Amino acid sequence: MNVNEKLKRNISISYLYNFLFQLNITSAIWVLYLSFKGMSLIEIGFLESIYHITGVLFELPTGAIADVYGKKFSIITGRIVSVISGILIITSNSFWGFGLSFILSAASMNLNSGAGEALIYDSLKELGEEERYKKIWGNLAFIMSIGQGIAVLLGGILSDIKFLYAYILGMIIHTVALIVACKFNEPTVRKKQEEKKQENLILYQVLISAKVLKTRKVVLYLILFSALVGSLQTTVFFYSQQYFSNMSYSKTAIAIICAASSFIEAISSKYAYKLENLLKLKGTLISVSLINIFSLIGLALAKELAVVFFMSASITGGLAYTIFSDYINSRIPSEYRATILSFDSFCFSMFMISVFPVFGLLAEKIGFTITFGIMALSYIPAMTFLLLKLRKYKSREKVRGIENDRISFE
């Protein structure tokens, strides 16, 4: 098999791998599981903070590891760590036991976050087919959302029987994903000779990646906007498990709601490129912002329509995930791609460290509906600020004539 055939094979392998990666059986029940194990909402919020603090500490170094030692190496290592994390969460019964499991789970995600996306883009770039990325990533996002939908449905049904069954099935899926990851082929990324001589390659990788972000402010603010949207949706998705449980929904019913949400996200992912072609970046950003704020206000003011507003928030998940990925990837060099994409996850973790425990604390003290309203009011100025910054630096890109330019430091 020649090099081009191997790189093309990466795309088909990615479809299967990412489906298994998102077939996370416990994604819609872990809050309920920890509650069942005796954790309070505040403790659950702090456990999620531990997860994201780990993400902040490990994200950039693991992205640099992927750029220096290989995306395939990083992905495989991440899957091994995820299996260990799964064993711990099954066997633990204390806050600190769960905390260690969350640390390892975060590390596994760090190792995968920038590497998986970079491997796909660099494979297409080496083939000279970068223009296909938006559509391929949309298809991948569609498959991942379908996987997530199936996972939450199975997880909810199994947890209604016994939580342990769901977690054991999750372990089996992690193991199969590890086997599939071994089939990837590493794209060739050529670095400058002087970079190869650096003694501390990982630190050097992070520093040069920071230089890239300083040069391309549009990338920086797109990453911040993406992380903000992601933190909003993740918080709503996970805490809504308990919110719906408090409204007397069964675990199976909650799983069906979450599965339907994932299917809506899947459809929006698949056709995101068509909407972006129609609205362009500015229109897409404004649409994503308005739908998210509208959904939060709806969750706060119309409890009887909570499921509808929960579903509406899912639309923007698929749009943002696909469109932002293409814009960001098209503006960064391959040799620093995984590191810079890891910065996206780093920013997401920073938002989650503050948002998730505060939401849990407020929800426990004053209730979910008021907390959703506070969240909506808090996000309005943050999103407005980022939109203004993006407008400013996007205009400078056009003036300088470098819009959609694939920059390189070679």
Measured CA angle at 290 (ends 285, 294), to 5 deg: 155
pLDDT reported for residue 39: 87
Of the pLDDT bands very low, low, confident and very high (cuts 50, 70, 90), residue 196 is very low
Q: What 3 state SS string does 325-384 have? A: HHHHHCCCCHHHHHHHHHHHHHHHHHHHHHHHHHHHHHHHHHCHHHHHHHHHHHHHHHHH
pLDDT reported for residue 101: 93
Q: Which whole number is the average pLDDT over 20-24?
A: 86
Q: How far apart are alpha carbons 62 and 83 in whole angstroms? A: 18
Q: How far apart are alpha carbons 39 and 33 in whole angstroms? A: 9
Q: How far apart are alpha carbons 260 and 153 in whole angstroms? A: 9
pLDDT surpasses 60 at 387: yes
Q: What amino acid occupies position 277?
A: N
pLDDT surpasses 60 at 190: no
Could you tell me the pTM of the whole model?
0.66
pLDDT reported for residue 76: 92
pLDDT surpasses 50 at 381: yes
Q: Are the C-beta atoms of residues 177 and 20 closer than 8 Å to each other?
A: yes
pLDDT tens-digit series, residues 222-271:
888 888 888 888 888 878 878 888 888 877 788 788 878 878 887 887 77
Q: If residue 72 lies in a helix (H) or strand (E), which one and from where to where?
A: helix 71-91
Cα dihedral 308, 313, 317, 319, rounded to 10, equals 90
Q: Which whole number is the average pLDDT over 33-37?
A: 87
Of the pLDDT bands very low, low, confident and very high (cuts 50, 70, 90), residue 180 is very high
Q: What 3 state SS string does 156-205 have? A: HHHHHHCHHHHHHHHHHHHHHHHHHHCCCCCCCCCCCHHHHCCCCHHHHH
Q: How much is the mean pLDDT over the chain? A: 79
pLDDT reported for residue 80: 92
Q: Which of 32-46, 76-90, 168-182, 278-292 has the lowest mean pLDDT?
A: 278-292
More confident residue, 180 or 185: 180
**CA-based torsion, 141, 147, 153, 155: positive or negative:** negative
pLDDT reported for residue 338: 65
Of the pLDDT bands very low, low, confident and very high (cuts 50, 70, 90), residue 179 is very high
Q: What amino acid occupies position 326?
A: D
More confident residue, 326 or 247: 247
pLDDT surpasses 50 at 319: yes
Structurally, what CATH architecture does the domain formed by 3-185+201-399 represent? Answer: Up-down Bundle (1.20)
> What crossing angle do the helices spanning 163-181 and 133-161 adopt, rounded to 10°?
150
Q: How far apart are alpha carbons 152 and 166 in whole angstroms? A: 10
Percentage of the chain beyond pLDDT 70 is 86
pLDDT tens-digit series, residues 76-131:
999 999 989 989 999 888 999 999 999 999 888 888 877 777 788 888 888 888 77
More confident residue, 28 or 410: 28
* DSSP code per residue over 219-265: HHHHHHHHHHHHHHHHHHHHHHHHHHHHTT--HHHHHHHHHHHHHHH
248: burial class by Cβ within 10 Å (0-12, 13-18, 19+)?
A: exposed
From residue 110, how far is each of 47, 51, 84, 120, 357 by CA, in Å?
A: 17, 11, 15, 17, 21
Of the pLDDT bands very low, low, confident and very high (cuts 50, 70, 90), residue 193 is very low
Q: How far apart are alpha carbons 151 and 175 in whole angstroms? A: 15
pLDDT reported for residue 45: 79
